[in-house]
């Protein structure tokens, strides 16, 4: 049996998120999750911790349909100018809309030289159109900190991979679990309380074919709370 151990939302792509006890789930995911992204004005790309690791040290909190960002020193970053000054590049905080953003990833996670780009889906700053809610089990994480993987739902139990291709009820929502989540260099980055660890990604590629966690689309919106069961339906 799988049960919800923790819920996370990340109001700004690649920034630190916040734990919640309960959340509505819409067609686009947990309310407030990946609702904003930081766009590099020079490239037009969505800036992520793959390119700018410092993002993992700032914190975003969802507040009345908007977001509040604080620096690693807990100072407010309320404007694009303040964000730009902090990062040393011109950026714009952008709310998710119908058209998604352009993302990038190094093709070689060790040397991080050649980068590939792709177009993401609309309505939330997700890398892939196949995932609106991500789920990972405590068994799959083992000794790794869940914060490295930024999944929305931490499940007490094991074998979430067996859900791929099935529908499941999570709280009062229904999810279609349709993919394993491929991992990139971002899981190796340092963040508060965690050091750089390249062995994490090497191990995932060696032992899990490059995947950790599963991604789902939302078939029926609803509400989920810590302690709820995840129940396979098909």
Per-residue pLDDT, 213: 98
Per-residue pLDDT, 147: 96
Angle at 150 between CA 144 and CA 151, to 5 degrees: 95
Per-residue pLDDT, 113: 84
127 secondary structure, DSSP code: S
Report whether CATH 3.40.80.10 matches the domain 2-232.
Answer: no
Kindly list the domain boundaries of the chain, sorted by start residue.
2-232
Which residues fall within 8 angstroms of residue 157, CB to CB, at 6 or more apart? 1, 2, 3, 137, 138, 139
Beta pairing class for 18-20 and 2-9: antiparallel
- Token pair 């914190």: residue: 59
Per-residue pLDDT, 234: 81
Q: What is the pLDDT of residues 149-168, one digit of tens each?
A: 999 999 999 999 999 999 99
pTM for the model: 0.95
Per-residue pLDDT, 16: 97
Q: Measuring CA to CA, which residue among 6, 27, 22 is closest to residue 137?
A: 6
Buried b vs exposed e over 189-201: b needs ≥16 C-beta within 10 Å?
A: bebeeeeebeebb
Sign, CA dihedral 158-203-132-12, equals positive
Residues of the chain with pLDDT under 50: none
Q: What is the pLDDT of residues 106-117, one digit of tens each?
A: 988 888 889 999
Sign, CA dihedral 36-41-46-49, equals negative
């Amino acid at each position: 049996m799988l049960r919800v151990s923790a819920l996370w939302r990340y109001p700004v792509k690649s920034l630190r998120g916040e734990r919640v006890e309960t959340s509505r789930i819409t067609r686009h995911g947990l309310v407030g999750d990946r609702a904003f992204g930081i766009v590099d004005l020079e490239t037009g790309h969505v800036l992520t911790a793959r390119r700018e690791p410092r993002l993992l040290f700032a914190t975003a909190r969802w507040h009345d349909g908007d977001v509040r960002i604080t620096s690693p020193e807990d100072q407010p970053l309320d404007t694009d100018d303040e964000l730009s000054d902090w990062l040393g590049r011109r950026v714009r905080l952008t709310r998710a809309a119908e058209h998604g953003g352009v993302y990038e990833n190094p093709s070689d996670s060790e040397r991080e030289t050649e980068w590939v780009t792709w177009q993401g889906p609309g309505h939330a700053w997700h890398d892939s159109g196949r995932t609106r809610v991500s789920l990972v089990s405590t068994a799959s994480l083992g000794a790794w900190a869940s914060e490295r993987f930024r999944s929305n739902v931490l499940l007490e139990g094991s074998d979430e991979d067996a859900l791929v291709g099935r529908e499941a009820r999570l709280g009062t929502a229904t999810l279609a679990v349709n993919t394993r989540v491929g991992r990139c260099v971002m899981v190796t980055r340092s963040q508060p309380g965690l050091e750089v660890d390249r062995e994490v990604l090497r191990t995932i590629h060696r032992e899990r074919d490059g995947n950790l966690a599963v991604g789902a689309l939302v078939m029926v919106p609803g509400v989920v709370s810590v302690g709820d069961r995840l129940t396979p339906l098909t």
